[in-house]
Structure 1
């Protein structure tokens, strides 16, 4: 199973607005991939939900339930990025968790990196195509042929 970090903005977008980010959240619920979390990521999500968006209790409970499916990693804040220090904790999490993918919409700081150590940095659309593709195998044998 792939280990995946979802940028807080992907989680917020999925929880509040739908679209491809919502499909990724559903993928977590269906255990199509493992969600990697850190205290920093968790804090940013809930700070924005409460203070920026002022969401109701039901949304907070739904997001909490979703995040409880993930695995919490203890990060060390070892990475420093001159461009945007707010993103460094995601790269720390990528290192600590050995995540396969970091999914983000950050075209300025994260997506241009393309990779951090062993973690590929991809867009939500790319993640949907990689993580949520139908894995059913179609038989090439004609079942009526004996």
Structure 2
């Protein structure tokens, strides 16, 4: 078995991987999706449980937020293996997000407090919170869907008109 002091960096790595620009899903980055759903549902805190793909509160449990969780489980397992631990040594891996929805000064800011817990109940977390900014100020996937659908409809109608002429 490895040294547990080597596990303190894992929660930060998981959060940074989740929030990176590689975490893109259907028109937005994870920070955009978190900011959008928090403002849409008027919810200030979102918890994402990595090991069981559970998101709390239930109103925020949407597919885009779950898209990268398999990758995070893979990162966690690889890190544990590198440091000489079994996969089941970590019993809990959580990213807690705080979104200041009522403060216009921090409209796109997201704070993440990730942690992991081992079999013995010991908790590992970074020394500082992780701060991320949503990339699109007014990200709205429904509006993007309408625009995309409208463009497809217009091109389809144009194609039919060309065939008839």
TM-score clears 0.5: no
Structure number, greater radius of gyration: 2
TM-score normalised over the length of structure 1:
0.28
Counting strand residues as a fraction of each chain, which structure ranks higher? Answer: 2
